[in-house]
Amino acid sequence: MDNNCKRCLLFEAGQNVTYNQIQDYIKTIDASEKVNDEVYSHRLSMCKKCDNLISGMCLKCGCYVEVRAILKNKNCPNFDDKKW
């Protein structure tokens, strides 16, 4: 699959090593710091429609969105057009 997959999450971009590392990291985050599944899915769905998403990374902040979106204390970093 394309290494620079526009509007792809890591899960879809075929970058399995990075994806697995991200999932392992997410597992270490305390549940109290995470949004629920519904909010997480909504956030990721917004990222998937966004031109700033490249191969799972947000061009506005350099974060992997699968990590940023799960954190309660984070929001979409695009100040001109916040998606979540």
- Is the Cβ of residue 29 or residue 59 nearer to ligand SF4 in the bound state? 59
Work out how close the CB of 32 gets to ligand SF4 at its nearest, in angstroms, rounded to a whole number. 22
Run of H or E residues at 38:
helix 37-48
Closest CA to 71 of 51, 43, 52: 43
**Three-state DSSP class for residue 47:** helix
Residues that bind ligand SF4 (CB under 6 A): 46-47, 50, 52-53, 58, 60, 65, 76-78, 83
- Is the Cβ of residue 52 or residue 55 nearer to ligand SF4 in the bound state? 52
